[in-house]
Structure 1
Amino acid sequence: MKPGIRIDYLPLEGLKPYDRNPKTHSPEQIERLVASLTEFGWTRPLLIGDDGTLVAGHGTWTAAKLVRDRGLSIPNHPDAATAPTVALAHLSAEQRRAYVIADNRLSELGRWDDALLGAELADLQGLGVDMDAIGFDAADLEALCADGAGADTKAGASGKSLVERFGVPPFTVLDAKQGYWRDRKAAWTALGVHAEEGREHLPDTNVATDWMRRGSAVGGSAFDPVLAELVFRWFTPGAGAAILDPFGGEATKGVIAATLGYAYTGVELRGEQVQANRAQWLKVRDRLPPERLAQVRHEPVWIEGDSAKIDSLLPAGRLYDLVFTSPPYYDLEIYSKGEKDGSAFESYDRFISWYRDIFRQACGRLKPNRFAVVKIGDVRDERGFYRNFLGDNIACFLDAGLGFYNEAVLATPIGSLALRAGRQFTASRKLGRGHQNVLCFFGGDPGRIKAEFPQEIEVGDVAPDDPAP
């Protein structure tokens, strides 16, 4: 008889746990084992004694029963009511008792290379792999990043964390709920950056996510200052870069651009908004500490005018290093009642035609090998279906000659969404929207990015000294 290991597929219910197993399994761990089973399948058998008592695999056995009870499937195993097992018949009863402990303890003695682990997890997350199936979650990954793990794996690495190097980890999920994001946002707010000025009459899309027609909600959808800072730092060739904002809106983008040393030009239809923006910049400038004030190279420029005529509003021949904006939402935020305001057009088709022409003009002002970035969210029609505004944006920029280069989700604070989501879901099965979309396009040769964009991102304190009172 040839030596070997025989695998028997036995009913889960015929197996039993070792009642003196000192290893415990939390509900959270069991759920991750469920995710692992449904993602990877059975990759190792359960180890049992002659009587069906488990020696190794207690947690996986528990998870397998949940998979069966929930009607889930295991990729390489058609019968979810059974499990692959190996009977340790060559071990004595005492050895099997000892191996219950050895199996767990010996695996604990290994150590992680945190830098390699962080880098590998970040890559896998970027590829869309389910982190729960691996046994890690976003908090685990963030802890690694906060410790500097995974930031560098090559010789000569700085040893800094991703937050220290880039302000925020450069992942496809930009999490505005994290402490590092909140702290930076609070610092910008302390300098006097406020999105509400000039927009008091607008509906708040964070308070009314599925608000489709004009309503009674108050406030406006404020632009996140940290997102503005990141886009400027990440997607321009450096300080002094010229930024074009086809839909200026409130002051945030212009104020932050100027504070960081960029040359910002925004086009805004509403005269009262332009005046409010200019006033806010003067207030912020007066509060800047000397070190930050010294970095201001250009006053932000807001041009009052119709974005549909943006080409004629801009200086002849002027080219820009970045197109960056948060465009208007058709029939969601009504900015004004004027016939030139695309948000109030009578049809979505007319809105999109108007919208595409504006970005055709704006992207025609980009220098070669430069980015265009938009922060958007989808909107629903009168029946509650999404209009596919995201897809229309992608088509718009592709037709303007740019390539679709990056996409990210901006995970926003939940706030009052937690109070509304249950009622909304029960009534309509609509999910509460807790994110916005950031779409990034590139015009030119991506091979030139390394040569034309800084390899080290300058990220310091928002205000190196305390702002003036």
Structure 2
Amino acid sequence: MTQEIAVVFRPLDGLKPYERNPKTHGQEQLERLVSSLTTFGWTRPLLIGADDVLVAGHGTWQAARLVHERGLQIPNHPDAGTVPCRVLDHLTPEQIRAYVIADNRLSELGRWNDELLAAELVDLHGLGVDLDTIGFDAADLEALCGDAPGDSRKDGATGKTLAERFGVPPFTVLDARQGYWRQRKAAWVAMGVHAEEGREHLPDTNVATDWMRRGSATGGSAFDPVLAELVFRWFTPTPTASVLDPFAGEATKGVVCAALGFDYSGVELRSEQVAANQAQWAKVRDRLPPERLAQVQRDPLWIEGDSAKIGEVLPGGRQYDLVFTSPPYYDLEIYSKQDKDGSAFETYDLFIEWYRHIFRQACDRLKPNRFAVVKIGDVRDERGNYRNFLGDNIACFRDLGLGFYNEAALVTPVGSLALRAGKQFLSSRKLGRGHQNVLIFFKGDPRKIKKEFPQEIEVGDADADDPAA
């Protein structure tokens, strides 16, 4: 009869680490083991000698101590002060010393099938599984989803990571805090792209200056040049595609668009903003190296006019390859006191009616099988509740016949949010908003994307000497 392998429970603090254990466990690994224990529970016992000295499971034991100290719960084990163990009383002292090393080394000799591992991680991530609980993070996933040089299993292998292939990983979370993002942004800033120019003299109204009271973490809608770069590179069909921006605002989108060789047309109500944008482009153009300047097909065109009459201010009959904009967030930031400015409308319903009218005209000018991209955030009403501006945007474009194709959260650096969030939360229980939303719509048949859009993305290097390379 086969003897059963017994599991015994020992006091957590009664176990002793093996003093000559050559395997170390850093804090990052311990935190992941804590996450694993509190998610999956105990799945295997620790291995100990008859003297309660650990043989295998030193890292898990340390993580269990952290769980106990922090007052956390292990799902299948209510008594966090004890641990399940297997006593290796059938081994000699010499065998135990050998097994301490064997347990670690033999697991290291196995190899991952990277292709299957990447597919499984992508699926689990999509199902909402926290990859930290299984020992991986976003950087690991990015590296695994890149391809290897000379790998015949993958067509068009480049040996690049996702960030190298696409500028940043094409995930539904666009993380502006990452090094690859900050490097690209620094390059554009060094070239002279500044979102603040032309915005210095916005009307001083309560709603314009008191956005913090209503719970926004992002304030106004100054545009990130890296997001602009990505949208132009990812969602246009040709290197010289035409872009329509019905709410031009500050210069960033137009400057980045033209510097990359695309054809930009933006409608802007404020004459002083148009003048500031043109001045900024002139400075940036002077800094472009000759090889980049040769790719500029046209200066960005900022049209001073009313977006509500976009059909009249644009060249007659012209069609565009991309609609891309960051519209006003109703009264989050007042751009002017003109009655043509939707940010100054008296009611949200009037604003949405005006908003839908503009995008109806803009999408009429969008070619078939093309994208429309909108960067927005939600806004609160006078009582502090969200207005559901995100949902109203989705409904707007769907009613216009476009499909809701992608969405992404643009996670922004915390900055002064950390200073504001505590007081704001205590007084109102409003969470500090550290992201904006990127909504992506498609006009036409998505099955034609593969045929009409390039299968290789030109991203260049994030080099401060040449941001558009």
Partners of 2:4 and 2:189 lie apart in 1 by 65
Find the counterpart in structure 2 of residue 263 from structure 1: 263
Partner AA of 1:395 in structure 2:
A
Whether contact under 8 Å (1:213, 1:332) holds in the other structure is no
Find the counterpart in structure 2 of residue 210 from structure 1: 212
Residue deviations 1:220-260 (CA, integer Å, cap 9, x gap): 64211111011000001022212111111011111221222
Find the counterpart in structure 1 of residue 7 from structure 2: 8
Find the counterpart in structure 2 of residue 20 from structure 1: 19
- 1:104 equivalent to 2:104? Answer yes
Find the counterpart in structure 1 of residue 171 from structure 2: 171
Partners of 2:347 and 2:296 lie apart in 1 by 42
Partner AA of 1:425 in structure 2:
F
C-alpha displacement at 1:195, in angstroms?
Answer: 1.7
C-alpha displacement at 1:441, in angstroms?
Answer: 1.5
Residue deviations 1:278-328 (CA, integer Å, cap 9, x gap): 232233223322211211223322222222222333334332211111110
How does the TM-score come out when normalised to structure 2?
0.85
Matches for 1:248-327 after TM superposition, within 5 Å: 248-327=248-327
Please identify, of 436-445 and 94-103, the stretch whose mean Cα deviation from structure 2 is larger: 94-103
How does the TM-score come out when normalised to structure 1?
0.85
Matches for 1:346-357 after TM superposition, within 5 Å: 346-357=346-357
Q: Cα RMSD between the aligned structures?
A: 3.5
Partners of 2:147 and 2:20 lie apart in 1 by 37
Whether contact under 8 Å (1:292, 1:464) holds in the other structure is no
Whether contact under 8 Å (1:200, 1:220) holds in the other structure is no
C-alpha displacement at 1:71, in angstroms?
Answer: 5.9
Partners of 2:290 and 2:340 lie apart in 1 by 41
C-alpha displacement at 1:181, in angstroms?
Answer: 2.0
C-alpha displacement at 1:455, in angstroms?
Answer: 0.5
Find the counterpart in structure 1 of residue 247 from structure 2: 247
Partners of 1:203 and 1:170 lie apart in 2 by 38
- Secondary structure at the counterpart of residue 212 of structure 2: coil
Whether contact under 8 Å (2:194, 2:252) holds in the other structure is yes
Matches for 1:63-142 after TM superposition, within 5 Å: 63-64=63-64, 66-67=66-67, 72=72, 74=74, 77=76, 79=78, 81=80, 83-111=83-111, 121=121, 124-141=124-141
Partners of 2:77 and 2:353 lie apart in 1 by 52
Partners of 1:87 and 1:102 lie apart in 2 by 17
- 1:328 equivalent to 2:316? Answer no
Find the counterpart in structure 2 of residue 238 from structure 1: 238
C-alpha displacement at 1:148, in angstroms?
Answer: 6.8
C-alpha displacement at 1:129, in angstroms?
Answer: 2.5
- 1:227 equivalent to 2:227? Answer yes
Please identify, of 444-453 and 146-155, the stretch whose mean Cα deviation from structure 2 is larger: 146-155
Partners of 2:313 and 2:242 lie apart in 1 by 16
Please identify, of 242-251 and 78-87, the stretch whose mean Cα deviation from structure 2 is larger: 78-87
Please identify, of 26-35 and 451-460, the stretch whose mean Cα deviation from structure 2 is larger: 26-35
- Secondary structure at the counterpart of residue 351 of structure 2: helix
Task: Quickly say closer, same or farther: Cα 1:45–1:360, change in 2 above 3 A.
Answer: farther
Residue deviations 1:390-448 (CA, integer Å, cap 9, x gap): 22222222222222222212222222233333333344333333222211112222211
Partner AA of 1:10 in structure 2:
F
Partners of 1:463 and 1:64 lie apart in 2 by 45
Residue deviations 1:26-75 (CA, integer Å, cap 9, x gap): 34322211211233343333334456554322332443455466565555
Please identify, of 338-347 and 420-429, the stretch whose mean Cα deviation from structure 2 is larger: 420-429
Find the counterpart in structure 2 of residue 460 from structure 1: 460
Partners of 2:279 and 2:9 lie apart in 1 by 75
Partners of 1:130 and 1:273 lie apart in 2 by 44
Whether contact under 8 Å (2:233, 2:457) holds in the other structure is yes
Task: Quickly say closer, same or farther: Cα 1:111–1:394, change in 2 above 3 A.
Answer: same
Structure 1 unmatched ranges of 5 or more: none
Task: Quickly say closer, same or farther: Cα 1:379–1:7, change in 2 above 3 A.
Answer: farther
Find the counterpart in structure 2 of residue 443 from structure 1: 443
- Secondary structure at the counterpart of residue 231 of structure 2: helix
Find the counterpart in structure 2 of residue 367 from structure 1: 367
Partners of 2:148 and 2:424 lie apart in 1 by 41
C-alpha displacement at 1:270, in angstroms?
Answer: 1.3
Whether contact under 8 Å (2:42, 2:77) holds in the other structure is no
Partner AA of 2:96 in structure 1:
R
Partner AA of 2:381 in structure 1:
D
Task: Quickly say closer, same or farther: Cα 1:173–1:357, change in 2 above 3 A.
Answer: same
Whether contact under 8 Å (2:306, 2:340) holds in the other structure is yes
Partner AA of 2:165 in structure 1:
R
Partners of 1:209 and 1:67 lie apart in 2 by 40
Please identify, of 451-460 and 436-445, the stretch whose mean Cα deviation from structure 2 is larger: 436-445
Residue identity (%) = 72
Partners of 1:228 and 1:315 lie apart in 2 by 24
Partner AA of 1:237 in structure 2:
P
Task: Quickly say closer, same or farther: Cα 1:405–1:74, change in 2 above 3 A.
Answer: farther
Please identify, of 16-25 and 457-466, the stretch whose mean Cα deviation from structure 2 is larger: 457-466
Whether contact under 8 Å (2:245, 2:324) holds in the other structure is yes
C-alpha displacement at 1:187, in angstroms?
Answer: 2.1
Partner AA of 2:337 in structure 1:
K
Please identify, of 276-285 and 52-61, the stretch whose mean Cα deviation from structure 2 is larger: 52-61
Partner AA of 1:99 in structure 2:
Y
Partners of 1:164 and 1:135 lie apart in 2 by 24
Please identify, of 284-293 and 5-14, the stretch whose mean Cα deviation from structure 2 is larger: 5-14
Partners of 2:9 and 2:466 lie apart in 1 by 68
Structure 2 unmatched ranges of 5 or more: none
Whether contact under 8 Å (1:173, 1:409) holds in the other structure is yes
Task: Quickly say closer, same or farther: Cα 1:246–1:226, change in 2 above 3 A.
Answer: same
Whether contact under 8 Å (2:243, 2:265) holds in the other structure is yes
Partners of 2:203 and 2:160 lie apart in 1 by 41
C-alpha displacement at 1:466, in angstroms?
Answer: 6.5
- Secondary structure at the counterpart of residue 244 of structure 2: strand
Find the counterpart in structure 2 of residue 424 from structure 1: 424
Whether contact under 8 Å (1:369, 1:449) holds in the other structure is yes
Partners of 1:243 and 1:62 lie apart in 2 by 56
Whether contact under 8 Å (1:243, 1:264) holds in the other structure is yes
Partners of 1:48 and 1:465 lie apart in 2 by 59
Residue deviations 1:182-224 (CA, integer Å, cap 9, x gap): 222222223322222211134999x98735499xx9x964211
Task: Quickly say closer, same or farther: Cα 1:74–1:220, change in 2 above 3 A.
Answer: closer
